Amino acid sequence: MWVAEGFTDYYGALLVARAGLSTPVEYLDELSNTIEQVQMRPGRLVQPVDMASFDTWIKHYRPDENSLNTSIDYYSKGASIAFMLDAKIRKTTGGARTLDDAMRLAYARYSGAKGCTLEQFYAVMSEAAGANLTPWFTEVVSRVEELDFSDALDYYGLRFTPADPKAARATLGASTRVDNGRLVVTVVRRDTPAHAAGLNTDDEILAIDDVRVRADALVTRMDQYRVGDTVRVLVARRDRLVTLAWWLSPAQSSLPSARLRSTILG
């Protein structure tokens, strides 16, 4: 699934750019969004993308409140791997071949009812690249280490632009929903101050710093704070009132910035 769906996602934005229907900068923004989706999921460090493919019908389409913390989306991670693989094939062949050539070769051999195993897919990608890519695939597909984008960025002349700390918006570190006028926590991201402070799914947020928070006004209320501010949050948990305190984190990925820019285009 990380190939069938993830590679399709990679080509989705790329083909629009090739057709001249988006600018290079707009394409890089689309690619940035894809990478950011990977980096903002704590589950990327828990579940390998090949296992996410294996678990599609029991987990991907049956998410729960902890899925963000325990699983990876094979669409976005598969697309990120395709981006890295395209650069690797181009670099290894001196620009003579691309991922396009590798996918055409795979299609010629394994399309229709024939199909292919993962090992055969690795082999045909390696053949197109003229180098054994199986160890690289094992690292990015079957393990949970952070993806290393450096080779791809260097090859294309790209960089991650520095984040502007002044532009970062403060967040509680949790997602919420409005339920019959109640502001209810739906997801608490692992490795956030809110998670460390003990905020739980299904907690009802009643007040921040002793001021009542309307269910539909959380965003407006958070605009009053800055990243690093400490807040005291009153929640109702199973009919008991609990006060928690933590500092507000920025609403951004684990990368310094997931916005890609060309060293040529600026």
Domain range for 52 is 6-163+256-262
pLDDT class of 63 with cuts at 50, 70, 90: confident
- Four-CA torsion 116, 117, 123, 128, nearest 10 degrees: 30
Span 237-248, average pLDDT: 95
The answer on 195 and 89 residing in a single domain is no
Say if CB 174 and CB 199 are below 8 A apart. Answer: yes
| pLDDT tops 90 at residue 145 | yes
Which alpha helices (DSSP H) does the chain contain, by range? 6-18, 24-39, 49-54, 67-70, 74-92, 99-110, 118-129, 134-141, 150-156, 193-197, 218-222
Residues 214-234 have a mean pLDDT of 92
Q: Which CATH number goes with the domain that contains 42?
A: 1.10.390.10
139 and 209 fall within a common domain: no
For the stretch 68-107, pLDDT in tens is: 899 999 999 999 999 999 999 999 999 999 999 999 999 9
Residues 232 and 108 grouped into a single domain: no
Do 151 and 188 lie in one domain? The reply is: no
- Which pair of structure tokens corresponds to residue 33? 């969004």
Pairing of strands 249-250, 230-237: unpaired
Instruction: Determine the angle formed by the axes of helices 6-18 and 24-39, rounding to 10 degrees.
Output: 160
Position 163 confidence tier, pLDDT thresholds 50, 70, 90: low
Give the start-end residues of each E strand in 180-248.
182-188, 204-208, 211-212, 230-237, 240-247
Whether residue 1 is predicted with pLDDT greater than 90 in this model: the reply is yes
Largest CA distance in the chain: 66
Residue 157 sits in the same domain as residue 243: no
Q: Are residues 30 and 105 in the same domain?
A: yes
What is the rounded CA–CA span in Å between residue 80 and residue 66? Answer: 23
Q: Is the pLDDT of residue 118 over 70?
A: yes
Residue 166, pLDDT above cutoff 80: no
Same domain, 62 and 144: yes
pLDDT value at residue 263 = 61
* Residue 31 counted as domain residue: yes
